[in-house]
Structure 1
Amino acid sequence: MSYETYRIADLIDEIAMGPFGSNIKVSCFVDSGVPVLNGSNLEGFSLSEKAFRFVTKEKADSLNKANAHRGDIVITHRGTLGQIAFIPQDSRYDRYVISQSQFRVRCNDKVLPEYLVYYFHTPIGQHKLLSNASQVGVPALARPSSTFQQIEVVLPELSIQKRVVEIISTIQKKIANNQELNDNLMQQAVTIFKSWFVEYSLFDGIEPKEWETVNLEKITSLISRGIAPKYSDNSDQIVINQKCIRNHMIDLSQARTHTPKVINEKWLRFGDLLINSTGDGTLGRAAQVWFQPQNITVDSHVTVVRPAKENLIFYIGLWGVLHEREIESLHTGSTGQTELPKERVKALELHLPDNGTLDRFNTLIAPMAAAIVSKQNENNKLATLRDALLPKLMSGEIDVSAVQL
């Protein structure tokens, strides 16, 4: 198996930065059109087709250099560094507008774009990608387009690249299928909640008179921000941050480890509702702990809401998911410095159903929550397998011809 060393500049036909911020203002966004990429779209190996904002075709045309097409690679150079994904040939849209924090790359025929993206997801690839990062102020890559082109990578012949891509893509597709199943289950759970407790479908569209209106504090045993962690790689204590809470689910792969001063009531329990509580764009996002947490807490940018009784767990959790916009509206502070005061969370009002209705609701939701956790666990194992295989396949330590899909 032969390998050659290339600079990135030798592997690409085109590289372009995103537009200046003034080119895409809030007033530019429309209900449909050409999607604008953000950091959440680059969280995996390939493009995530979620949470888009759109600009008109005419606006996208005016930002031609900032248009990314199928087969292109998009990289974040400011903010959450190291994000890199390719736009697959079967993507939903034929083009996208990259943000001011991103740049795009179009490869030539020496390298498969998927292979290059996979390379930069390995530890050595991430190290090379972030070698010119500055952590002063907002994290950023120095001269991103030029420094990126000087990175050296070792590549096998195209046939080997193709085989590596096939192997990793098979794992990726299984992860994506599991995630789609989980998204569907979550949508079903939210729909059931809305039908029962918003539309009152079981009660001829009328709220039962015996249901009490209470504030959230009355039916919870804890509403509190998390801890200020002391991060450590030599610990089994996990601290969840705001990146872990997305799409109404908790992704522990984005968490970090820390050394706790003391283990206290803020260590998570089954049924805790977690709410992102700092910053525009993320504040208000909610997800519930549907697994049995061990040695896990949250940092000070996340609020923990703990149901007071077991039969309230799924009710409060799905209430939080359905009311993200309302929770977001409770923020204080100016743009970019918004915070969610816990006193406002405590004062939120909601209806308290009778125990019989809650028991019937829990009978429906509990198996769905268990199925979601099962798929999440399977995805964690698949991701571990993928991350272990990838550098060994790329280095030739594992013979790609010996891998059976």
Structure 2
Amino acid sequence: MGYETYRIADLIDEIAMGPFGSNIKVSCFVDSGVPVLNGSNLEGFSLSEKTFRYVTRKKADSLNKANAHRGDIVITHRGTLGQIVFIPQDSKYDRYVISQSQFRVRCNDKVLPEYLVYYFHTPIGQHKLLSNASQVGVPALARPSSTFQQIEVVLPELSIQKCVVEIISTIQKKIVNNQELNDNLQQQAAALFSSLYDRSNTEVRFTDLIQILGGGTPKTGENTYWNGNIAFFTPKDVGIPYTLITEKTISKEGLSHCNSRLYPVNTVFVTARGTVGKVGMSGVPMAMNQSCYALVGKETHQLLVYFYTLKAVDRLKHKASGAVFDAITTRDFESEQIMKLSDDDATAFLRVAEPMFQEVLNNNIENLRLSTLRDSLLPKLMSGEIDVSAVQL
């Protein structure tokens, strides 16, 4: 199995930066047309097409160099660094406009774009991609297009690349299918809840049904409290509707030194400072930091708490204020009114929704297993440590 070292410059036919910010203003956006990419479209391995803003075809034509097509690679160079995706051949649109925080790459016939993207999702690939990152002010890559071209990668022959891509893509497709199924289940449950909620004629204070509890973090420098076996929830960990893992874990000793208790599965969390109003549920027992609230039902099922909160949160976000960053307080919750489902409607809703959300949780658990398998296999397949012909899925 032959491997060769290449510079990125030897593997691409084209590289182009996104447009200047002044070239795409808010006034440029229209209801339909050519989609404009942002950071949310670059989460994962291939392009996410859940939400877009659009510009007219004429505007996209005027930004020709910033147009990305199927098979192209798009990379973030400012903001959330480390993002790199490929545009699949079956993408929803035939072209996209990249943002001022991105650049695009078109590969030549020496490398498959999917393989190159997978490479830069491995630990060594991420290290190389971020090696010239600056954390002063907004995180950014210095001279992104030129430094990216100087990165060296080790590649096998194309037949091996194709096998690796097929193996990883098989896992990815299952993960994406589970995510799409979860989205569908959530939408069905939300539609049913809304139909029952809208016909309710009983209005109560949010805090009559739901208790608002705070969290906390051990003092800075108390490292002995971290790396335990308790998941520690922060605003960036919100997964809708179930969060299974977080980047941080805390020990039992750490939990006793902060103001957070250990919350059980199905606790509803809402982010309350910085990014306000993101709602999620815990898929494993968790503690949380001071930028979140845990919402616990007062004789109200936690699934109802989740949907009641979704109904209230848009209004709560408008109440957010703060000198340094936006925040909502317990007083904002106390002044919020919601419609309470009747006992019969609540029972009918839970009878349908509980099995749906159990399936959502099961799918998320499977996706966690699959993503762990993918992340373990990927560097070993690329280095040749695992013979691709020996992998059975």
Partner amino acid for 1:4? E
8 Å contact kept, 2:21–2:100: yes
Shift in CA distance, 376/140, structure 1 to aligned 2, threshold 3 Å: same
How much does 1:106 deviate? 0.9
TM-score (norm 2): 0.91
8 Å contact kept, 2:35–2:53: yes
Aligned to 2:291: 301
Structure 1, 114-123 or 352-361: larger mean CA deviation:
352-361
Give, in whole Å, the separation in 2 of the partners of 1:317 and 1:188. Answer: 15
Deviations 1:58-106 (A, max 9, x none): 2222222111111111111111110111110000011111122111111
Aligned to 1:274: 269
How much does 1:323 deviate? 4.6
Aligned to 2:69: 69
How much does 1:353 deviate? 2.7
8 Å contact kept, 1:271–1:306: no
Shift in CA distance, 170/131, structure 1 to aligned 2, threshold 3 Å: same
How much does 1:306 deviate? 2.0
TM-score (norm 1): 0.89
Aligned to 1:94: 94
Give, in whole Å, the separation in 2 of the partners of 1:297 and 1:78. Answer: 32
Shift in CA distance, 374/278, structure 1 to aligned 2, threshold 3 Å: same
Give, in whole Å, the separation in 2 of the partners of 1:278 and 1:51. Answer: 24
Give, in whole Å, the separation in 1 of the partners of 2:160 and 2:205. Answer: 60
Is there any run of 5+ residues in structure 2 with no aligned partner, and where?
Answer: none
Deviations 1:192-218 (A, max 9, x none): 1011111x2xxxxxx44xx3x222122
Partner amino acid for 1:194? S
Partner amino acid for 2:333? V
Q: CA RMSD in A?
A: 2.3
Give, in whole Å, the separation in 1 of the partners of 2:219 and 2:144. Answer: 31
Give, in whole Å, the separation in 1 of the partners of 2:290 and 2:157. Answer: 48
How much does 1:372 deviate? 0.3
Partner amino acid for 1:27? S
- SS of 1:106's equivalent? strand
Deviations 1:98-151 (A, max 9, x none): 122111111111100000000011111111111111112221111111111111
Aligned to 1:317: 306
8 Å contact kept, 2:234–2:289: yes
Deviations 1:301-323 (A, max 9, x none): 333222222x3322221122345
Residue of 240, 245, 248 corresponding to 2:238: 245
Residue of 372, 376, 379 corresponding to 1:384: 372
8 Å contact kept, 1:226–1:304: no
How much does 1:5 deviate? 0.3
Aligned to 2:186: 186
Aligned to 1:329: 318
How much does 1:324 deviate? 4.3
Give, in whole Å, the separation in 2 of the partners of 1:375 and 1:351. Answer: 31
How much does 1:225 deviate? 5.6
8 Å contact kept, 1:223–1:346: no
Aligned to 2:58: 58
Query: How many residues are paired up?
Result: 387
- SS of 2:214's equivalent? strand
Give, in whole Å, the separation in 1 of the partners of 2:313 and 2:24. Answer: 26
Aligned to 1:235: 228
Give, in whole Å, the separation in 2 of the partners of 1:140 and 1:252. Answer: 30
Give, in whole Å, the separation in 1 of the partners of 2:141 and 2:244. Answer: 26
| % identical aligned pairs | 57
Deviations 1:346-379 (A, max 9, x none): 3211022333332232222111111100000000
Residue of 248, 252, 256 corresponding to 2:248: 256
Is there any run of 5+ residues in structure 1 with no aligned partner, and where?
Answer: 201-206
How much does 1:10 deviate? 0.9
How much does 1:164 deviate? 0.2
- SS of 2:228's equivalent? coil
Give, in whole Å, the separation in 1 of the partners of 2:345 and 2:190. Answer: 16
Give, in whole Å, the separation in 1 of the partners of 2:294 and 2:79. Answer: 26
How much does 1:56 deviate? 1.7
Give, in whole Å, the separation in 1 of the partners of 2:392 and 2:77. Answer: 37
